[in-house]
Copies of this chain bind each other. A is one copy, B any other.
Amino acid sequence: MTHGNAPAAVPRSTLVVTAHAGDFVWRAGGAIALAASRGQKVTIACLTFGERGESARAWREGRKLAEIKALRREEAEKAAAALGAEIRFFDAGDYPLTETPELTDRLVEVYRATQPDVVLTHPVEDPYNGDHPAANRMALQARILAQAIGYPGEGEIIGAPPVFYFEPHQPEMSGFRPEVLLDITEVWETKREAMECLAAQQHLWDYYTDLAVRRGVQLKRNAGPNLGLAHRTMAEAYMRPYPQIAKELA
């Protein structure tokens, strides 16, 4: 195992760790599309298909577990492709998603294999869904373990990539305070397209379009009138649990 000093020519790498198959689309689709559109590599580590907790319609239609998992997988693959990202399924079982050393270890492998420059995951709290905090804890734990040369496994150790928490469904109830507002206007159409790959959750398409508009309004209010922003700026909100490293205050 050698030190993870990547030569400059390697494209930037983003790792997204999510609990369920749809999460990356609603919460981080803009960030993913933005990175991909700049030639960067984006890998989605999808811990479960959301087969039990987030597929109510399919269960009501009488479908079976295997069928539901296949359905969610297919939708997620389409959405990831639309955004320009690679997706890996862990099939760890949802509702509840249980933290285990084995699952964390598999995440360490992904960290070392992808050498992320940026990590996106769920925030710490979610009083409506315990799988999201579980994914958060494993994503953070694996990131730390992957940094340690003494932790066994394939691949090079990683650096200390910045972490961003994407927005939960009920932000105020989950202690979510926007610390970064990301302008996703230029990839908005791509995000919308990816959302429309999730046919079973059609009621969320407009919901998350409205959210992007609202975060865009907030972005403009915080950016001041000087920035020459689009009339209808679309945005996503993030928290950053670790300090930003800066060469300039801006």
Min distance, Cβ A190 to any Cβ of chain B, angstroms: 16
Closest to A166 in B: B249
Contact A141 B130 (CB under 8 A): yes
> A245: which of B35, B213, B219 is its contact (CB, 8 Å)?
B219
Take A5-B225, A243-B237 as given contacts and tell me if A207 and B214 are in contact as well, using a CB distance cutoff of 8 Å.
yes
A160 & B238 in contact (Cβ 8 Å cutoff): no
**In the docked arrangement, what's the CA distance between A180 and B173, Å?**
12
Chain A positions 1 through 29: 1 when the CB is less than 8 Å from some CB of chain B, otherwise 0? 00111100000001000000000000000
Q: Are A159 and B5 in contact, with the CB atoms below 8 A?
A: no
A245 to B177, CA, bound (A): 14
Residues from chain B with a CB closer than 8 A to the CB of A171 are: 172
In the complex, what residue of chain B is closest to A164 when comparing beta carbons? B249
* B180 close to A150 (CB less than 8 A): no
Complex Cα–Cα for A3 and B228 (A):
13
The answer, yes or no, to whether A55 is at the interface (CB within 8 Å) is yes
Judge whether A182 and B224 touch: CB under 8 Å: no
Nearest CB on B from A236, distance (A)? 9
Check: A47 CB closer than 8 A to any chain B CB: no
Chain B residues with CB under 8 Å of A148's CB are: 52-53, 56, 95
Question: Is A36's CB within 8 Å of the partner chain B?
Answer: no
Copies of this chain present in the complex amount to 6
Asked if B224 and A242 sit within 8 Å, CB to CB, the answer is no
- Alpha-carbon separation in the docked complex, A92 to B244 (Å): 34
**Interface size counted on chain A using CB atoms at 8 A:** 85
The residues in A between 81 and 117 inclusive whose CB is less than 8 angstroms from any CB of B are 95-96, 98, 101, 104, 117
In whole Å, how far is A121's beta carbon from the nearest beta carbon of chain B?
A: 12
Tell me which of A96, A171, A178, A181 has the highest count of chain B C-beta atoms within 10 A of its own C-beta: A96
- Name the B residues within 8 Å of A145 (CB-CB): 95-96
Residue of B4, B68, B101 touching A225 (CB-CB under 8 A): B4
* Chain B hits for A181, CB < 8 A: 243-246
Least Cβ distance of A163 to chain B in Å?
9
| Known pairs A162-B250, A164-B249 / 5 extra A-B pairs, C-beta < 8 Å | A159-B225, A181-B243, A210-B210, A210-B213, A244-B244
20 A-B pairs with C-beta separation under 8 A: A4-B225, A5-B225, A52-B150, A53-B151, A55-B150, A59-B149, A159-B226, A160-B222, A170-B221, A172-B172, A178-B243, A179-B179, A179-B243, A181-B243, A182-B246, A207-B217, A211-B214, A219-B245, A223-B245, A237-B243
